[in-house]
Amino acid sequence: MKHTPSDDLIVWQFDFALTTFFEVETDQFHHHIPSRLSPMEVSPGIGLVNITAFNFPAGGMDGELPEFQELIFSVIVSPDLSRGVPKFAMYVLSLGSTCQEHLDHSADFYKLPIHGLLTDTKINREAIAIDYSDADGQIVAMNNCSPQTNFRDEERYFQAFTSDGDDLTIADCYIEAPLFEHQLTDNAGTLNLHPFLKNIDFDLGDPLPYLQMIGRPGDIGKQFYYRPSKF
Amino acid sequence: MTDFFDKLIQEEPYTQYTLDMFSRSAGKDHAEIKQFAKWRELVTGANKYTFEVPHLGAQTPEISVRRESGDEYDLVSFASYNYLGYSYHPEVIQGAKDALDHYGLGATGSPLLNGTFQIHKELEDGISDFFGQEDYGVSLFSSGYGANLGAISAFIHKGDHVVLDRSSHASLIDGAVLSQGKISLFRHNDAEFLEKVLKRIDYENSRILVCCEGVYSTDGDYGTLRDIIDVSKKYGAAVLVDEAHSLLVAGENGRGVCEEQDVLSEADMIIATFSKSFGGVGGCLYAKKKVTNYINYYARSRMFSCALDPGVTGGLIKAVELAGSADGDDRRKRISENADYLRSKLAGRVDIGTSSSWIIPVIYGDERLTLPLSDYLQKNGIDISLMTFPAVPKNKSRIRAFVTSEHTHEQLDVGAEAILKAAEEYNFLTE
């Protein structure tokens, strides 16, 4: 898709991306979702949450931001197909970052629910793994669980729902990067009982990954993230 | 490969979508219907729509089909579940004709009220005799889907538990949903994982039904019934085994994987589907008579559906009779030999996974190949079933060859050659 520069579009460059969709009982998170949205389930009673970790090099927002790390926690919900056909639509529950300015901007521009600053972020690019914590302790340790990779360099379309007071908003987001997608169900990390993750119990410490999307190490990817509008 | 897929998406843009993407949409409008219509138009416009292609004759190993475009193809079929060829067996057809002449076209009523005919009782007796166990009965349903739906939802209620193998058929899952019981899944064929799941339930005070299958149609592998039943019984759980793809075919006498793994008397409920090896349509629950008597009253999918039509019932009686005779023994031997023959032609050259039955998957991987590949295979002489994400994991999309006792070695050779040629064309040879 052709993206025309405008005040409603911010292009973010990233040099690390690891995202995992985990299976979890829908009952555990359904109450966090606005009633107009419904969770996508892989089987009855089993929904999907998404945890995405990014590293953004210095220079974001026209050079204003330093290098920072970001963590997003969301629930996979029914998309709005009247806008196009995305790979997934998510309702964002928590955003964490090592950069306060980025958090402030995300709350204002994207209406994202800010959880707070991440205090300790480790990225192992070789193993494609992360370990992120905040003041309440370790949130997540997450790793690629596929021994093989097959990166596809193409644009992928997503939708991001957020709440703005009583209103629901939706934003279009496109990722242009070589990504590898797989559904191997091996050990993909540890998800803790943590406020950032809404204190969800991820299968007694044995979370089941449904899908992983992994950026190719060393490559710069682009995220075309549009300003949300009222849904 | 990236160049290959870039070209594919450019030339055939519908390949970038998978069917799950149109399953539903947020918002008041039915945007999913509009988007699906656009996608279908793209596929049909390219003459690559290979779903619901009408067959022009019976489900024999050689068939003719006609696409929406009007193009006709003569094909060797590997897509039918007519495992023993009974759908077109002369004696089965005669049985159906006789019943049709005697009873008319439809049963025109619920089995519990006015739709049960003497011929239904004969089919129940025929199936009971085929299994040969005392005090067991049969509850007939108008579809295999309805049998699972009705049996599970009558046996399990709100507050109870249904524990399913992750590879379970949709009818088992839907039965569990209808029951309103709490649903849990265990990793495919993993009795250790099942035990973990059962331990988490208050099993001493809960009613639990564990559901599994004799042969799984995704991978063509056998259910590990012995292990699953042992673990289930340890925690007081009842076990339902869906033998849709295995009854009449597996086991020395055709009594399914339950017979083969010596658990026939330990499975609490066995589900049969008449639309596969029986060659007709419908399904049944086989269980202790007191259970089937109860299910006859309380299975809503039975109570509120018309009884099996008499013609089909007459044909099914004959199919069960044949399957229990030397004819069945011969066909079981042939299907097993045929499956081994086709596997030997494919093994080592393409990925056939863990198949050990008459269902042989060939994993081609990338879901974007599904429709072009299906089109290619039809144009190269075979009709075959393709299974793609989300029914199987990403990068694990597959062709499934359903072998029957009636295939000849020449027909199996045609199938193997077409698959290997496609593997070369679409880069999924493993050698």
Residue in the block written with tokens 């349509």? B281
Burial of B382 (0-12, 13-18, 19+ CB in 10 A): buried
Residues B156 and B213 placed together within one structural domain of the fold: yes
Please give the full DSSP string across B290-331, using - where no structure is assigned.
HHHHHHHHH-HHHHTSPPPPHHHHHHHHHHHHHHTSHHHHHH
B172/B223 same-domain check? yes
Look at residue A205 in the predicted model and tell me its pLDDT: 47
Q: What is the CATH number of the domain that holds B169?
A: 3.40.640.10
Residues B189 and B142 in one domain: yes
Q: Tell me which of B295, B323, B351 is where a domain ends.
A: B323
Task: A27-36: list long-range contacts, CB under 8 Å, 24+ apart.
Answer: A28/A200, A28/A201, A29/A75, A29/A93, A29/A198, A29/A200, A32/A75, A32/A91, A32/A93, A32/A198, A33/A75, A33/A77, A33/A91, A34/A91, A34/A161, A34/A163, A34/A168, A36/A168, A36/A231, A36/B26
Instruction: Supply the range of the domain harboring residue B235.
Output: 89-323
pLDDT at A3 over 80: yes
Considering the domain architecture, whether residues B58 and B122 belong to the same structural domain is answered as no
Residues B58, B72: Cα–Cα separation, whole Å: 16
CA separation for the pair A75, A161 (Å, rounded): 10
Put simply, the answer to whether B177 touches A183 (Cβ < 8 Å) is no
Test A80 with B31 for CB contact under 8 angstroms.
yes
- Do B116 and B233 sit in the same domain of this protein? yes
pLDDT digit string, tens, across residues A139-151:
999 999 988 888 8
pLDDT tens over chain B, length 431 residues: 567 777 888 888 898 888 889 999 998 899 999 999 999 999 999 998 888 999 999 999 999 999 988 999 999 999 999 999 999 999 999 999 999 999 999 999 999 999 999 999 999 999 999 999 999 999 999 999 999 999 999 999 999 999 999 999 999 999 999 999 999 989 899 999 999 999 999 999 999 999 999 999 999 999 999 999 999 999 999 999 999 999 999 999 999 999 999 999 999 999 999 999 999 999 999 999 999 999 999 999 999 999 999 999 999 999 999 999 999 999 999 999 999 999 999 999 999 999 999 999 999 998 889 999 999 999 999 999 999 988 888 888 999 999 999 999 999 999 999 999 999 999 999 97
Query: Percent helix, strand and coil across chain B, each rounded to 5?
Result: 45, 15, 40
Contact B395 A181 (CB under 8 A): yes
B31 and B97 co-located in one domain: no
The confidence score (pLDDT) of residue B162 equals: 97
Both B212 and B340 in one domain: the answer is: no
CB contact A182 to B (< 8 Å): yes
Give me the pLDDT at residue A183, please: 85
Total structural domains within chain B: 2
- Note the ipTM here: 0.82
Q: In terms of domains, do B169 and B239 share one?
A: yes
Interface mutation target, options B1, B9, B32, chain A, most CBs of A under 10 Å: B32
Residue A220 has pLDDT above 70, yes or no: yes
- Reported as a single tens digit per residue, the pLDDT across A50-109 is 999 999 999 988 888 999 999 999 999 999 999 999 999 999 999 999 999 999 999 999
Q: Do B172 and B271 have their domain in common?
A: yes
- For A36-55, what is each residue's pLDDT tens digit? 999 999 888 889 999 999 99
Whether A43 and B185 lie within 8 Å, measured CB to CB = yes
Structural tokens at position B325: 């005779």
Boundary residue ending a domain (B302, B323, B344): B323
Residue B84 within a domain: no
* Nearest Cα residue to B241 out of B115, B255, B279: B255
| Domain assignment of residue B245, yes or no | yes
Which residues of chain A neighbour B390 with C-beta distances below 8 Å? 42
- Domain presence at residue B220: yes
Of A42, A161, A181, the CB nearest to B394: A181
At B51, the amino acid letter reads F
pTM of the model: 0.89
Residue B82 in domain: no
**Chain A residues 18-47 with CB within 8 Å of chain B:** 36-38, 42-46
Q: How far is CA B85 from the centre of its chain?
A: 16
For residue B246, what are its two tokens?
């295995």
Hey, is B378 helix, strand or coil? Answer: helix
Could you tell me if B154 and B130 lie in one domain? yes
Q: What is the mean pLDDT of chain A?
A: 93
The answer to whether B360 and B343 have CB atoms below 8 angstroms apart is yes
CA distance B169 to chain A (A): 11
CA-based nearest residue to B188, from B160, B156, B222 = B222
The CATH number given to whatever domain includes residue B8 is: 3.90.1150.10
Question: Residue A203 pLDDT more than 80?
Answer: no
Contacts of A77 in chain B (CB under 8 A): 26
- B430 inside domain: no
Q: Specify the pLDDT at position A204.
A: 52
Residue A221 near residue A175 (C-beta atoms within 8 A)? yes
Residue A185, pLDDT > 80, answer no
Q: Is residue B431 part of a domain?
A: no
Same domain, B252 and B296: yes
Asked if residue B315 and residue B173 are part of one domain, the reply reads yes
Task: Give how far B137 is from chain A: nearest CA, Å.
Answer: 31
Please check whether residue B205 lies inside any domain of the structure.
yes
Distance of residue A150 Cα from the nearest chain B Cα, in angstroms: 9
**Residue ranges of domains in chain A, CATH in brackets:** 9-230 (2.40.400.10)
